[in-house]
Amino acid sequence: MDRKKIKEGEGVPVRLGRSDVKLIEGLTLFDDDYLTRLTPDPGPTDLLGYFTLDELDDLLGCIAADANHTGNRRLEKELDSLYDRLQAIMEGYDDGLWQDSAL
């Protein structure tokens, strides 16, 4: 898989829908600062923010933890879907610190 090369600490664009933001707001542990970076773009339901790969990894950990510990199957599926989308974004970039788990 070809990953776009970026500088260490460089933010990558992440688009989220308002329903995604509600899911993130409901997470047990996450950095509130992440949500302050989101701005409307371009339509009424899409938000855009820039996050480093480390921040995305942190957010993915928070999403996975809540998905694994909820008793609500619907919420688990929504969190899993959000996780998969964010994971795909993160895996599209390489800041030079990427470690292949297959090695």
Query: pLDDT tens across 18-70, in order?
Result: 999 999 999 988 888 999 989 998 776 789 999 999 999 999 999 999 999 99
Centre a 10 Å sphere on the Cβ of residue 66 and count the other Cβ atoms it contains. 20
Across 18-73, the runs of DSSP E, i.e. the strands, are: 39-40, 46-51
Closest CA to 81 of 2, 17, 34: 17
Residue type at position 28: T
Q: What are the structural domain ranges in the chain?
A: 12-94
Question: What are residue 51's DSSP bridge partners?
Answer: 12
Considering the entire predicted model, what is its pTM? 0.88
**Any residues with CB less than 8 A from the CB of 44 and at least 6 apart, and which?**
none
